[in-house]
Amino acid sequence: MKKFLIPLLLFVACIFTFAACDSQENNDDYLDGNLCGGPPLYESPLEEFIENFDRHSPFVDNQVLIILTEEVSFKNIFHDYTAEDFLQIGATQVHELDGSTTESTGLTYRIRQCLLEDPSGNTIPDHLKHYTRTFCITLDKKDEDNVLRAVYLLKQRTDIYLAEPNWIESPDV
């Protein structure tokens, strides 16, 4: 009896496996990567993020755009961000996009001036109360996957509201 039990169990396991794999045979979402040709197995969430990122539009191969959270934007309003604030992604330059910190026309400068005059923040105009700082970060390597690595790492930070590649958009003519 034992002589037939092991081959029988193997036979049943094979039939079950083939039946499960056959039900996914025509599904394009499944790629070669495991026994049934199911979804690929990724070594890390970062690798999965890079592989599945929707590259619907081209982007600059060495720049990332970020927006700080509202809370951090105000808390660090007097901090001039540099590449040293983003060492984990290989930043070489950081450029603030939403307002100059030294010219009177810049939003960051205006908020700084308001806070210097009145530290309570009561003199900040209402339209600037929900202010967020936006930056373009230039990376040390020119490589789309490196940009996606940087985006992934920046999205893990609690001080960053949004991190995206610097998309290249062209106007429709």
Question: Over 50: is that where the pLDDT of 152 sits?
Answer: yes
Whether 3 has a pLDDT exceeding 80, the answer reads no
Given a cut of 90, whether residue 68 has pLDDT beyond it is: yes
Q: What average pLDDT score do residues 162-172 get? A: 85
What was the pLDDT predicted at 95?
94
Please name each of the domains of the chain with its CATH number.
60-98+129-167 (3.30.70.330)
Highest mean pLDDT among 8-12, 50-54, 66-70: 66-70
Q: So what's the pLDDT on residue 120? A: 87
| List of residues 6+ apart from 164 with CB closer than 8 A | 64, 65, 66, 151
**How does 120-129 read in b/e, with b if 16+ C-beta sit within 10 Å?**
eeeebeeeee
Give tens-digit pLDDT for 82-102: 999 999 999 999 999 876 666
Mean pLDDT of 46-75: 91
Q: pLDDT class for 30, splitting at 50, 70, 90?
A: very low
pLDDT at 18 > cutoff 60: no
Average predicted confidence (pLDDT) for the chain: 81
- Quick: pLDDT tens for 111-131: 888 889 998 888 888 877 788
Burial of 30 (0-12, 13-18, 19+ CB in 10 A): middle
